[in-house]
Amino acid sequence: MSESEHKGEGKGKSILIVEDETVLRESLAQLLGEEGYQTVEAADGATAHQMILRQPFNLVLSDVRMPQMDGMTLLGLIRQAAPETPVILITAFGTVANAVAAMRAGAFDYLLKPVQFDDLLIKIDRALRTTEVTRVNKVVTEQLASASAFYNLVGRSPRMLRLFELVRKLAPVKSTVLIVGESGTGKELFARAIHYNGPFRNKPFVPVNCGAIPDTLIESELFGYRRGAFTGASRDKVGYFEAANGGTLFLDEIAALPMLVQTSLLRVLDEKKVTPVGDTQARPIDVRIIAASNRDLGKMVESGEFREDVHYRLNVVKLDLPPLRNRREDIPLLVHHFLDKYSREMNRELRGITNGAMAALLNHEWRGNIRELENVIERAVIFAEGRMISCEDLPFTSPQSVDDAGEDLKEALRQFERQHIIYGLRRHHYDKVETAKHLGIGISSLYRKLDELDIPKNLEEEQLSNDWSSGETDGPRLDNGPTP
Ligand SMILES: Nc1ncnc2c1ncn2[C@@H]1O[C@H](COP(=O)(O)OP(=O)(O)OP(=O)(O)O)[C@@H](O)[C@H]1O
Ligand SMILES: [Mg+2]
């Protein structure tokens, strides 16, 4: 045996070549080396087995008929020692029956002698890619099942894990928490996680959107009022603070709170008492406050839009939720999480997502953060025609990569053209005139293309009937509190 490393395209994957015929073995090593693989050679099965026990390989390429230990026996040993390593067997003409047996015994693929080098490369590439996808999916599934899914919170980036740790520490105490982050980064979900992980999870969690209540009503909504406090106050009303007693009050969009109300809030935070509008008696309250904002309160303090003392009291512990584009390593996990969620909800058996589509998701800007990602996946689950989510199912991808077109150039071009036209149609709301204009072709050419490329002319209707534009996916969706 000899070890040889060749410089090439730098794919860097290691391949163990097991072949007793020296000339064939060495020429395979040289050719694969030129393709950028790192090759290691073994002249017989026993040596190969020893090597596999000592170091991992990305793939094993083995002859079937060899003197001492044959390829089939070796295959059995590899399945035990390194079950994830794909094995491709090389067999002489006449022994196709062996090849079939080899596949049954767990070989990934087989090649017939004389070895066609092109064929070999395709098979190696396919084996490596399949193994990689399987591996990634397995890791993702394991992570989903483990601590990385913290209640409904999914993430595995270091920043997210640190935030989960904070949630764990904050849940049992009643300290005020300020959660900041762009829209759709999970502020409300974090607030709920803090509440529902704590000992008061059976007490109320009361979300209040400060930005959605008219200024004139906000004080009475928050603190309640007594009968007769103002025109129309025909009976006592309990405010949100009292409604949340014993539990958590979630003050969302706190930046929208008018200055005057901020002053009242300051008093409540200091005294832990509320006085309903029109009342003289303050009532003690025991409420944990979680405030959230997608605006920078510090800057608002500087510009005089937010009270410094209120900011100071809210900002006891701050959770700063990072935008999705700064923690792309969480994207695959989230994609699988939402795929799972929506295929279950919609009763669709989807097997996963193509590499091309995942790449597009990884590269997207995600201005709307996790909410946008969730909506994209929900729509893709509705859209998907095959068993996998593909680029075509994503609303924003112009298909730079074509999924599974195989090697045939014409077919790849055809698929690219098809996806590009569908993308154009979606972009221009199925307006064919507008689409043709942007594609730079005439309207009759567009119609011809739709025919040639099997694109339904009523694509829009098909999607409408799939509830594509029901509109509900655009608004914020609140999860019910996670079940403790
Ligand atoms: N870490 C996460 N894991 C799983 N789902 C998440 C995560 N973060 C957010 N989501 C989901 O993303 C959506 C948006 O989250 P949420 O409503 O909490 O964001 P937000 O920061 O409050 O947004 P906004 O500022 O627009 O109110 C929700 O459907 C939520 O369930
Ligand atoms: Mg929110």
* Model confidence at 372: pLDDT above 60: yes
What residue owns the CA closest to ligand 1's atom 12?
A: 371
Burial 231-263 (b: 16+ CB within 10 A, else e): eebeeebebbbbbbbebbbbbbbbbbbeeebee
Q: What band does 8 get if pLDDT is binned at 50, 70 and 90?
A: very low
pLDDT at site 360: 84
Going by the DSSP 8-state scheme, the letter that residue 126 receives in this structure is H
Q: What CATH code would you report for 3-142?
A: 3.40.50.2300
Average pLDDT of the residues in 107-132 = 87
d(CA 483, CA 372): 24
Average pLDDT, the chain: 83
Q: How much is the pLDDT for 483?
A: 35
Question: Given this chain, do its domains 3-142 and 155-322 carry the same CATH topology?
Answer: yes
- Pocket mutation for ligand 1, best pick of 180, 189, 327, 474 (most atoms within 8 Å of C-beta): 189
> Given this model, what pLDDT does residue 348 score?
87
Q: Is 189's C-beta closer than 6 angstroms to any atom of ligand 1?
A: yes
Q: Is residue 198 within 8 Å of residue 337, measured between CB atoms? A: no
Torsion of CA 76, 82, 83, 87, to 10 degrees: -70
| Residue type (1 letter), 140 | V
Q: What pLDDT shows up at residue 236? A: 85
Q: Which atom of ligand 1 is nearest to the CA of 191?
A: 18
pLDDT for 389 beyond 80: yes
Contact 292, 330 (CB under 8 A): no
Question: What are the pLDDT digits (tens) for 182-234?
Answer: 999 999 999 999 998 888 888 899 999 999 999 888 999 999 998 887 887 78
Is pLDDT at 398 greater than 80 in this prediction? no
pLDDT at 484 (0 to 100): 35
Looking at all shown ligands, the one closest to residue 340's CA atom is 1
How big is the chain by its Cα radius of gyration, in Å?
31
SS3 per-residue string spanning 88-140: EEEECCCCHHHHHHHHHCCCCEEEECCCCHHHHHHHHHHHHHHHHHHHHHHHH
Question: Where is pLDDT greater, at 346 or 93?
Answer: 346
- The answer to whether 357 and 390 are in contact (CB under 8 A) is yes
> What average pLDDT does the segment 92-108 reach?
73
What separation in Å is there between the alpha carbon of 348 and the centre of ligand 2? Answer: 29
Strand partners, 308: none
CATH class of 155-322: alpha beta
* Helices vs strands, H then E, count in the chain: 19, 19
- Between 146 and 31, the higher pLDDT residue: 31
Is any ligand 1 atom within 6 A of the Cβ of residue 181? yes
DSSP state of 177: E
Span 166-186, pLDDT tens digits: 998 999 999 999 999 999 999
Enter the CATH code of domain 327-474: 1.10.8.60
d(CA 404, CA 386): 12
Nearest ligand, measured from the Cα of 160 = 1
User: Average pLDDT in the 68-89 region?
Assistant: 88
Q: Where are the domains of the chain?
A: 3-142, 155-322, 327-474
* Binding site membership of 169 for ligand 1 (Cβ less than 6 Å): no
- Distance between Cα 329 and ligand 1 center (Å): 17
| Atom in ligand 1 nearest the alpha carbon of residue 188 | 18
Q: Which ligand is nearest to the CA of 167?
A: 1
What gap in Å lies between CA 251 and CA 479, rounded to an integer?
A: 17
